Chains A and B, each alone.
Chain A
């Protein structure tokens, strides 16, 4: 039975903060096919195109027929736990300070044998359910979970190490003015966050929803303007050491392209709010998040970017918006590498048009703010890196995978 997590006591200010360590993250290029699957919460192994054998560990030649056509495909997650061991000593500092650590051999229904981390509720001889997760090194590992969910399953220490579960963590929602920001605050409160800081810029400008925000118990409203370096720096100085998850809800959505737009002020605002805002947050909060990646139950865990799926493929009807989102996407990739030494994940959540005022003329399907918020929370609970919320986002992703050029043409006429 997994011991439920207890809300951590206040941190002893005189105690040294444990420095983050990382398990070995080096993988062969082919093995990063598992990383791609884990980043999205999929369970995929190589399946030989020629003889259909499911293959593990990842490799470049089929052990049944020597074919080199070995793409990764989703396969069944079920298996049997044949043998387990509890490791008590390791020369690797990351595991050494986390002993004892259970691993086991699983015979997958899909065929191969997998060495996997074991959730505490698995027993030798039981059936298990495999997941691929990104460990603190950012590379994929397999973890065997009990076949059915068990109480407090997410609180298992092995599993929590691979996820960014908001439970008992302190979250910063960077902009609470908008329906998305407010839905986000509620979703994190519901997910068990200890504190939900909600940033509001220009307090002199009233906005709807403020009263409802104040009524959410863990919410603390703080001044934060992502377009103002001093504001962002000050907030990080005051609260940075007790913020474990940053969710950047600052948005700037305007229809219109680039050639047919008159002037630069809107575009400059977009870049300032979205890209420079992200850079400000990264510079102010990044270092402290990275330093606190191993700081106990409520360690720093994630930086969440809400990105239009059109960061991946420009939608000319919202063309300058798409370009600003693309700038944020590239910055997020950089941040991912920079925060990884602290074991802090950068999660990108992609969505199509939202049910919000600046997408008013866009026909459905659109994503409701509450649905987006749920997608964010779920992604953190699973510890994934790339989340696609809603039909449009899934559609764009699927088309990109097949023929980006065709998608480029299609976006220009939609």
Chain B
């Protein structure tokens, strides 16, 4: 009886130990490369505090537009996976027209820019962009990169995928409002 009890306790211990698998968040790209996705029971955790330098408010101007990005670290839990990631709320002030042309903080407030993974060499953190009226082409990947302790670079690689252009304003694909040709240099506020 004593042996059975001990075995039972050991079994409980083993099962408990296997309940989760903590993996460094910079390994997320490996799951992407393998094409397998994140296994159930995995916690992609920012154990090396890679996100810390990005968290905060960043501001910069390019192409007559002033960008303000509010970057936060979140821990997201879904379908048995837990993932640390960065999310970005933002505003874009267009000096040509004199008002904010995209603001992810109002209305059905939601982050338009959501973290995916660090590249293997940690050069860039890659995020998904689902902009305002994304079905008309404002979608793609955002790359961010620390340039110094107080500056950061950001650029959009646009997918430009459109559901049905006839249903878009003026029957036209939306023009990208994030910088696509070159990086905007952002300064920490």
- Do these two chains interact? no
* A residues adjacent to B (C-beta < 8 A): none
* B residues adjacent to A (C-beta < 8 A): none
